[in-house]
Amino acid sequence: MRSDHCVTRNHIEVWHHRVLPSGPERIGFGTVLLGSLLPILAWAGIGCALYFVYNPLSAAVLGGLFALSLIVGFELRRRARHSVRCSVYGALGGVLDKSMAGF
């Protein structure tokens, strides 16, 4: 995969599409986070609820699940010969996107 086309709209799908540029162009990490604001708030809210309602261990398990999903997504993208930057952005966007699939 060519590195100049790797970090584009075609390879990074975020949950909130209104934040993406109108055409294929490089997007920054802030855009990925801004486009994924609702899933980030959902993960944080569930983690805080687990921490206060049950115990800190359950929140740590949720954080570990998130980290494991992020690592697996990164590795799958690297094996598909994406750049490191594309793999990081895509893994984060993918985890946040897939976690909100039920909503």
pLDDT in tens, 27-55: 777 777 777 778 888 889 999 999 999 99
pTM over 0.75: no
pLDDT in tens, 16-31: 455 555 666 677 777 7
CB within 8 A of 95, min separation 6: which ones? 66, 69, 70, 73
Distance CA 35, CA 64 (A): 23
Under a CB-based contact definition with an 8 Å cutoff, are residues 49 and 35 in contact?
no
- Domain segments of the chain as ranges: 3-99
pLDDT in tens, 53-103: 999 999 999 999 999 999 999 999 899 888 888 888 888 878 877 877 765
CB-count burial class (<10 Å; 0-12, 13-18, 19+) for 66 = middle
